[in-house]
Amino acid sequence: MDGPLVNNSTGILFVLAANAALWFFLEKKTGWKLFNYLPPLIFIYVLPVFYSNLGLIPSKAPVYDWLGDNILPFFLVLLLLGVDLRSTIRATGRGVFVMLLGTVGVVLGAPVAYFLVKNWLGPEAWKGFGALAGSWIGGTGNMAAVAEGLGTSGTDFGLAVIADNVVYLVWLPLLLQSKNMARWFHRFTRVTDERLARLKDAAEELTVKKSVAEMRHLLYLIAIGFGVTYACGFIAARLTEFPPVLTAGTYKILLVTTFGLVLSHSPARRIPGSHQLAMALVYLFVARMGAKTAIAGLAGQAIPFVAGGFVWIAIHGVFILVAARLFRIDVHTAAISSAANIGGAASAPIVAAYHDERLVPVSILMALIGYALGNYAAFFAAFLCSLMA
């Protein structure tokens, strides 16, 4: 066969979108326990790797560049519309500082872990660490955004996806089981029953209801998303670059993040459907990253990259423990703070519900703070890793 079986933009988008839709359909309809260990994200990324390497779709195509230039900043703006920093700080009090110090642990742990394993990785694997920092501070959307801003190769992005899932398979059960260590943990952190009661009372007041999304709402979101994308691209192209981290792509992502946070304090944050539309596009973009990945590059580097990930998560864990003692925080808030960093909006509510269902709104708001900080902090983590390179 001279070329890929599907070679035009429409066909490629169909293959990527159908692959993403299939795994969420199976998760919803089958209830397979497989998805407790391997979430749809891993399949959405891995299958396009095989599609492109086996010749079904190309590994390079103009539509991939279009997705990176336009759809990534578009969904990033929509993700940030729901961030409510003031409500989160009011509800969690000192708990938000535990999450912030957990973020510091991710940022500082990145260069340490990279330094320990860099000799077994490619020369630009630091960009993969930067992408993984985006995921571990914010979420999948931040991971994709930082990867694009850094110009991360498909291979290094693939290593980040693998490490993200393997490490979290170990970390998530630890966060859940920490509930059983509450008595010891509260002695260690010197937390009071009064603090626990205040937290849960404040959490019950956080439920925010939005109306059902209508056609006009989607048009509002499309206009906002593409408007911010155009404006930020226009500005970024005129700024002075400072490689290897501060490139036009990096500027664009940071500007989009800033615009999104500004809009989150405007009436735009009440438009329904923003999160759902954004996450659908996030998974389409992850599939696109998979399609650009060469299998040969993944095999030899996966083990050292994952080993670095475990060193990295341990450093983050130490920062969470120190912060919990410093601010006298309960085990529930500490676990949610870590989950909001490492697992994002998808996993933080799971941890919160296991510890105390009243804390679910707090966990969601903490995860949204991760979205807000993810790009800024992850680019800085990538810069630190680049110094180690």
In this predicted structure, the answer to whether residue 197 has a pLDDT above a threshold of 70 is: no
CA-nearest of 122, 160, 108 to 286 is 160
| pLDDT of the residue at 202 | 59
Domain that holds residue 40: 9-388
Percent of the chain whose pLDDT exceeds 90: 53
Residue 4 in domain: no
Q: Which two tokens stand for residue 61?
A: 């195509």
| pLDDT of the residue at 344 | 80
Residue 219 in domain: yes
Residue 3 in domain: no
pLDDT per residue over 97-117, tens digit each? 899 999 999 999 999 999 999
| pLDDT of the residue at 151 | 93
CA-nearest of 211, 212, 193, 209 to 201 is 193
Burial (CB count within 10 angstroms: exposed 0-12, middle 13-18, buried 19+), residue 293: buried
pLDDT per residue over 229-259, tens digit each? 999 999 999 999 888 888 888 999 999 989 9
Residue 70 in domain: yes
Q: Give the C-alpha separation, 174 to 56, whole Å.
A: 40
Burial (CB count within 10 angstroms: exposed 0-12, middle 13-18, buried 19+), residue 32: exposed
Residue 329 in domain: yes
Please give the helix or strand (H or E) that residue 180 lies within, else none: none
CA-nearest of 96, 131, 15 to 7 is 15
pLDDT per residue over 260-310, tens digit each? 889 988 999 889 999 899 989 988 988 998 898 777 667 678 999 999 999
Q: How many domains does the chain have?
A: 1
CATH number at residue 76: 1.20.1530
In this predicted structure, the answer to whether residue 193 has a pLDDT above a threshold of 80 is: no
Average pLDDT over residues 182-200: 76
CA-nearest of 142, 42, 41, 50 to 381 is 142
Residue 105 in domain: yes
Q: What is the pTM of this model?
A: 0.83
Cα torsion angle, 352, 334, 93, 76, sign: negative
| pLDDT of the residue at 244 | 83
Residue 39 in domain: yes
Residue 2 in domain: no
**Own/partner long-range contacts of 244-249 (Cβ < 8 Å, ≥24 apart):** 244/150, 244/386, 245/150, 245/379, 245/382, 245/383, 245/386, 247/149, 247/150, 247/151, 249/148, 249/149, 249/150, 249/151
Average pLDDT over residues 333-339: 91
| pLDDT of the residue at 309 | 97
